[in-house]
C-alpha cells in the first residue's frame, strides 16, 4: 500500500529541517545560498503537509 502524500511531504520536511540544523551547527559546511534556499523551502513544505493532510 502506498503511503499518503502528506506523510511523504512530512518526511521530506523533517529531512530538510535536519539538514538545515546540520548546516547551522557547523558553520562553513555549506554556502550561504544553500542555507538560504533550504530555509526558504521549509515553510513551503510545511504548508504542503498541512494542505495534504486536511483535505
- Using the structure block, give the residue that is written with the C-alpha cell 526558504: 40
- The 10s digit of each residue's pLDDT in 14-32 is 999 999 999 889 888 788 8
pTM comes to: 0.80
Higher-scoring residue by pLDDT: 55, 31: 31
User: Taking the domains of the chain in order of start, what are their residue ranges?
Assistant: 13-53
Q: Is 55 helix (H, G, I), strand (E, B) or coil?
A: coil
Query: Is 1 within 8 Å of 13 (Cβ atoms)?
Result: no
CB of 34 within 8 A of CB of 23?
yes
8 Å CB contact between 6 and 52: yes
Determine contact, residues 12/45, Cβ cutoff 8 Å: yes
Amino acid at each position: 500500500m502506498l503511503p499518503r502524500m502528506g506523510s511523504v511531504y512530512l518526511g521530506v520536511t523533517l529531512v530538510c529541517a535536519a539538514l538545515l540544523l546540520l548546516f547551522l551547527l557547523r558553520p562553513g559546511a555549506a554556502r550561504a545560498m544553500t542555507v538560504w534556499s533550504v530555509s526558504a523551502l521549509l515553510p513551503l513544505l510545511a504548508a504542503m503537509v498541512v494542505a495534504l493532510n486536511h483535505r
